Structure 1
Amino acid sequence: MTTADEYRLLGFADADREAAEAFTPDPTVVKNLADQIRAEIGKLGQEPKLTMPDDPRNSVQAFLDTLPDIRRYHQERGIPDDISWASLADLGQQLKVSRRTHGEYSLETHWWVTIAWTGQLYALGRLQYLLHQVPADNPVPGTEPGEWIIGVHIPETGPLTPALVDDSLAQAREFFPRYFPEFPVKTANLWSWLIDPYLLDNLPQDSNMVRFGRRFTPYGEPTDSQDGAIFFTFRRHGTEHLDELPQDTTLQRLVVNRIKSGGTWQSAFGYLHL
């Protein structure tokens, strides 16, 4: 049984902790996913191939049931407790995002949480990092096929100030050689609509978002990400109700006005050398 302290360390809001405790899981479904998670822990470099339940609340229970397993893996690697818990606290963060989006206890991104739960994603200060290999179909300039790199991810946990980003990158430079020495990394990459050139050119150039995006050198071909821009800005899906969306910030107005004018937001690729 998950303790109150574990719920706190996993970042659960009170409403989500109470809902998790009140939920009656399907024991067969939960055991099936939990067994799959245990089998994938420590298999680095590939997205876990798991069959996710139709009801993501069962996924949450499977994550709670396998908490001792992923914690043991972190301890065997020597990963400090604060980094271990900060990385796993993405579960609570994703529950908060789902509640804000849907107004109830749910986990829209339960597939995403499996990446942290199998030992591939680590929170180091403001940013998260995914240990993976250079994809053959979209090579990163300056790297070799199969080379290990770290993918940068941006949780919704506060501002992207230059000082916080500098600190996080400095932590990454020390963390991976120390705790994953068999997977040497020299490069970080990012795939995000936050480095869409249109965004970087049309927000104030001294904004945290632009200063963050300019750190990365573009490469590869962008992919359309219209719904991604809507979701990450407003926590809603679809473009059918643009006039109902708040227009309180420069970013909100930019996202909506581009779509209304016939433009398409894209997720671009970028890299930086560590």
Structure 2
Amino acid sequence: MDASTTTYGDDYEVLLARCGVEHDAAAAEQQPDRTLFACGRLADAKRIFATRGWDVLPQGRRGQAILRWAADHAFLASPANPMRSVRNWSRKWAPWCIGAEFEDLLDYVKTSNKRWSHDDSAIVFGITVADRQSFRLRFFGACDDPTYEIRLGIKREKAAARARKHRAAHSAGRKGGRPALDLPPEEKRARRLAQEAARKRTARASAKTPSRDINNIRSVTELMRTRPTATYSTIRADAIDLTGIDLRLFGIVGIRVLSGSAVVALWGC
């Protein structure tokens, strides 16, 4: 088994054989994902044809759309000789495509970008989510689930079923969680009250608004006990002499110097 076959497993050669294409290891290594998807979609398409009872593709717009889709995938599925793969597939499933119509198909497949997603392929065939589930189509999407909501819901249901199955297989047969402590009623009540108090303390602590770190409390508060004490210089009353100064020029009626309730100096009053 060569390196390219080992990359995808034993199913890769099976897909190639079911699609009727040749396997070329060197060409497949250049675009492995596109080749694998093309082989898988062609195999799924054969299953769809069988369920619908089609020996050949129907003629008309629907058959033309499926034929172009199949031509792109047959081209990608056989990197060794893509045009021969297109001719073989078309002659088997669309024998009515002959002459100029067949030449137009070959010209189309040479220039198309061949960018088909799973949902694009489902739109061409009209595959719904129910069809995808019932036919077990691995390489087709769904035309009625553009937002993936239905498929994600199915995926979640399958994951939940797997989880339930795993838990049932590995269950110890007892109730989940830690086993109950064998304590007297008084100790159980005391333990319960202590746990409730701890939860309330945690809730109160988390509800408080966090404050920034304070490096210097005096710079952020105006409390009297933290404010620096103001210093004042003492001036003697007899050292001030305003005699001869017309205080009215400065808009001052008079000046009184008090010491408690006693007047120690007076000017202009």
TM-score by length of 1: 0.23
Higher strand share: 1
Higher relative contact order (CA 8 A, sep 6+): 1
Which structure has the bigger radius of gyration?
Answer: 2
Higher helix share: 2
